[in-house]
Amino acid sequence: MQIHRIPVLSDNYIFVLYDDTQPAVAVVDPAEANPVLRWLDDHNVTLTAILNTHHHGDHVGGNRQLLQRFPNAVVYGGAEDWGRIPGQQVSLVEGDRVTVGDRTAQVYFVPGHTRGHIAYYFPPVQAAEPGELFCGDTLFAGGCGRLFEGTPTQMVDSLGKLRSLPDNTRIWCAHEYTLKNLKFALTVDNDNQQLHQRFDTVKAARQANQATVPSQLAIEKQTNPFLRWDQPALQQATGHTDPIRAFRKLRGMKDLF
């Protein structure tokens, strides 16, 4: 499976999943239809599936127009989002499977950002290869999503699920927020030398107009404060050792940053 990243809006990414040996492709979180349609036309392929992580407009805004062009495409989304995702045909819960070409994703229920958020994890074909995680707005490179509908308890549980995946997992989050996220991270974890190194690398990449997505889970575990709520430096920064209280404080600080 190959992955093509399409930048849209001010900072969104749409992901096209395809295989050169097959004419059918899937798309993850199509915020807009036209950029996807151009790519499909350029490659002379057919859209067969839309994988939505949650119902927000900048993730589902292209669904209806894509379905007008490809009415046989299947729209997947979380069961809790039924009625909120345009064109949704399949409702997914934790443990379900979604097959794209010759790869099958495992579905994780990861509420917090929204009450119905899900993530799609494609395990590696070979043990040494990375898995591919499409996590929408739950986990970002260097950060996590705001809590619009969920609770800190839900988000800590959701991030814990994702943190338990293999370290070489590639993180395909839906926004280019990395530089701003790392600026905040430095305010709460300033003694973290790996974080400083990552900030410098990301800053240079953005100055060169390069994407910082995908990330890698190992790097997130080393530098993302929202996967480090149980580390001494973050406990000191938040004044809490309890994971939920530490996360709630950390998220509140980020919301005001």
Residues annotated as catalytic (active site), given as ranges: 54, 56, 58-59, 113, 137, 175
Contact 136, 15 (CB under 8 A): no
Show the 3-state SS of the chain. CEEEEEEECCCEEEEEEECCCCCEEEEECCCCCHHHHHHHHHHCCEEEEEECCCCCHHHHCCHHHHHHHCCCCEEEEEHHHCCCCCCCCEEECCCCEEEECCEEEEEEECCCCCCCCEEEEECCCCCCCCCEEEEECCEECCEECCCCCCCHHHHHHHHHHHHCCCCCCEEEECECCHHHHHHHHHHHCCCCHHHHHHHHHHHHHHHCCCCCCCEEHHHHHHHCHHHCCCCHHHHHHHCCCCHHHHHHHHHHHHHCC
Spatial distance between the Cα atoms of 47 and 6, rounded to a whole number of angstroms = 15
Residue in this structure with the two tokens 């930048």, named with its chain if needed:
7
